Every structure is written in C-alpha cells, then in structure tokens.
Amino acid sequence: MQPPPIALNFADLGRRAEAMLEELAAISAEPDRLMRLFLTPEHRRAADLVALWMREAGLEVFEDALGNVRGRIGEGPRLLVGSHIETVIDAGRYDGTFGVVAAILALDELRRAQALPKFGIELIAFGDEEASRFPTTLSTSAAVAGNFEEKTLALADAGGVTYAEALRAYGKDPVRIADAALKSGEASAYVELHIEQGPVLEAENQPLGIVTAMVGQTRLRIEVTGEASHAGTVPMDQRRDALAGAAEMTLLAERIGREAKGGLVATVGSIEAKPGAVNIVPGIVRFTLDLRAAEDAQRKAAIERFTREAQTIAERRRLEVAIALTHEIATTPCDQRLQDQLAAAVAAVGAKPVRLPSGAGHDGMSMVKLCPIAMLFVRCRGGVSHNPAEYASPADMGLAIAALVRFIENFRP
Ligand code: GLV
Ligand code: MN
Ligand code: MN
C-alpha cells in the first residue's frame, strides 16, 4: 500500500533553498561577480559545502574521479537527481545550483518524515555543464553515463592548463574516470530541477513546467587568418583584416538565425582579435558559434550554410578560415512516462502542469545514454539567466521542491 504523502511547508522549503543558494553564491573566484569554474578552488569549496549538506540529509557521500559530488541512500536501481554546481562567468545564483539544493531539501524532508522510499536514490552535483573553462560540455555527466570521451583530457583552458592537468591538481586521477560510470541496470531514471532560463512560464503566469525535450546544439570554434599590418599606412583596399571578416561572419550567423522558421538560434558569444592593439589591423581572430534548433535537420542545414558562406566571405576578403566542431548533440526528448509522473506531482502541489521545451542544454542530454530522463522547470523573473540578475522566487522554488517530494513518493521506474 502506498504510504500517505508527507506534510510539507512549501514556504519554508523555499526560504531554506534561498538561504542555501545565498551561501553557495558567496563562493566565487571574484568578490564582485559570481564565477565558479570547473576544477578550481571555488569548485572545491562549493563541492565541500554541498557534500556537508548531503551528509546532513542522511546520504552516504563520495566524490568520483571527475569531482562530481555523489550522495547515495537506499538499495537497488537508483533514481538519480541533481544538477551542476559550477557556473558561467558573471553568473546568477540559480542556474544548476537550484537543482542540487532542491534535491538535498527534498531528500531531507523525506528522511525527517521517515518516508524515504525503498528504492535507491543518488544525488549528483555535476561539475562541467557550462563549458566555461574547457571547450567541452557535459563531460562530467557523460562520465557517469559511461560515455566520457578520452580526447577531452587534452583540451586546454584559456591559461593553457589541460583538463587532465586540472583534474590532477584537483586531486583526481584521470585513469580512474571509467570508475565514475554507472551501469545501465544501476540507474532507473535521471530527474533534474532547474530554473527555466526563458520567459515562457512567466508569460503563462505559471510557476512550474515539465520539459518535453532539450534542443540540439552545435558549437564551432572559428579561426580567421588575415595579415597583421600597420593601421596607419596600409590602404583600406589592400588590407587582409581578420576582424572585419569575422564581423561579417558574425552577421551571417545572425542572419541565418533571423531567417530560419521555427526557433533556430545562433550566437557568437566569444571573440578575440590578435595581436589586439589600437594601431594594428588584426591578423588572427578566433570566435565561437553556438547554434541550436529543435529540428536536427534544420540545425545541420544551418551549419552547412554557415560553413559555405563563411568560406565565400573569407575568399572575397583574401582571408583563410578554419572551422572546428567543439560540441554537437542531438535534440533530446524527455521520457513520456516520467513527464506524466512529474505532471501528477505538479498537480499534487496545486500547480498547472504546463509542458515546454528547453532551449538550454542540461546534463540530462548525456544522462539519457544511461537511463530515461526528465526535468522540471521553475519560473524565473524576466526569463533572465546567465546573468547576475537571474531570480526565482522562494515561493516558486518551494513549490518545485514540494513537487519533487511528491514525484519521489510516487515514483515508478
Ligand atoms: C547551458 O547553460 C547552455 O545551454 O549553454
Ligand atoms: Mn544549468
Ligand atoms: Mn547555464
């Protein structure tokens, strides 16, 4: 017989989440903005705090070879819950960390009410979701799903430190990465709570949303080579200006996004010009392109068009262009049965089970190789994310945590 649902104080859960998020937000590489990159001293401090909270919630805690903080309780195939604790540069305090804090609070509520389920549960605080340090993403969840790519170890950060070196400096042994993986029979599902990071729930005046799918992404690193030359002496028609070429390619990417039907988005988010001086025509420019679409074929066609037309721009300007693929992932649907169970949990806390796709990437995109996945979104103010103004109200967060408790109480693999 199903035990009765435990009593929950939604407002109190929201307040506790807010206090924990505030503590985590104080752990930053810089005093004036939140920046907590993968495998840094800040990551270490956040991981230690999260491990402490997990232990206080009654979990048996360990760290794997990637620095993922993992807390287990119960026996048998595990329901996996969690999110990531590293951040983008100049981050808000909710992206990722809310999902970790929410899972800790949900399990703590169940433990205190002596209502933990019979099945196994594992809470995971991942470390590499944001791609803010190394040109890779989701590598720590890929490792848990048994899919870590060996070539990731050779990738270098902006300071030239490789992923493998950073792991060793963090006290981890890259040789042990395979040990982080769960076998398929060990995980029954992966469920993540996250702020929406977009404006849909706010526009619909609803606090919670069930994710239907996460859109596919392609990321490119583009290098444009021209010729560095004197900014005063070389006439305009004789220059090979790599930055002017990259600017035209940036506008090409924007045009591809604007002309697409059905929500394709294209972003040049990082650009550097070399040598980078006021009086030198730039000789080399490197920039990134992030392109996402719900339809994989549409995304692929857009990448083909960008590659073709960037080449034409380069030829016309007597430049060279080299395009490298740094990340590619297909649109990832969430499991229908888990979506329905989340919808029941959302209804059980009195909210409307709105369904919506995610334009953001999440660890579920790699966990799907291990087990069925699902996500619950929480409304965020103005749809603002990857920005210090990111905000979710304690009331909405409390409701989401309560929904996670109801989901766990009624979970059927
Ligand atoms: C992760 O936040 C992403 O979608 O880029
Ligand atoms: Mn995130
Ligand atoms: Mn993010």
State yes or no: pLDDT of 263 exceeds 90: no
Residue of 38, 88, 130, 390 best suited for mutating to test ligand 1, as the one with most atoms within 8 Å of CB: 130
| Contact yes or no for 412/342 (Cβ under 8 A) | no
- Atom number of ligand 1 nearest to Cα 292: 4
Q: Which residue has the tokens 């604790």?
A: 85
For the chain, list the domains and their CATH numbers: 10-215+331-409 (3.40.630.10), 216-329 (3.30.70.360)
Q: Among all ligands shown, which has an atom nearest to the Cα of 196?
A: 2
Distance 129 CA to ligand 3 centre (A): 7
- Torsion over CA: 354, 97, 120, 180 (sign): positive
pLDDT of residue 379: 98
Given a cut of 90, whether residue 1 has pLDDT beyond it is: no
How high is the pLDDT of residue 2?
79
- What is the Cα–Cα distance from 126 to 139, expressed in whole angstroms? 9
User: Confidence band (pLDDT; 50, 70, 90) for 180?
Assistant: very high
Ligand nearest to the CA of 195: 2
Ligand 1 neighbour 361 (Cβ under 6 A): yes
Helical axes 97-112 vs 41-56, angle rounded to 10°: 20
Q: Which of 41, 24, 114, 106 is nearest to 71 (CA)?
A: 106
Residue 375, C-beta contacts closer than 8 angstroms, at least 6 positions apart: 191, 192, 193, 194, 210, 211, 214, 334, 358, 362, 364
146-160: pLDDT as tens digits: 999 999 999 999 999
pTM: 0.93
Taking the C-alpha atoms of residue 375 and residue 371, their distance in angstroms, rounded to an integer, is: 13
360 lines ligand 1 (CB under 6 A): yes
In ligand 1, the atom with minimum distance to the C-alpha of 129 is: 1
**Mutate-to-test residue for ligand 1 from 94, 358, 362, 385, highest number of ligand atoms within 8 A of CB:** 362
Residue 5 CA, ligand 1 centroid: distance in Å: 35
- Whether 130 is in the pocket of ligand 1, judged by its Cβ within 6 Å, is yes
The bound ligand whose nearest atom lies closest to the alpha carbon of 99 is 2
Q: Which of 186, 135, 129, 181 is nearest to 362 (CA)?
A: 129
Q: What pLDDT does residue 392 have? A: 98
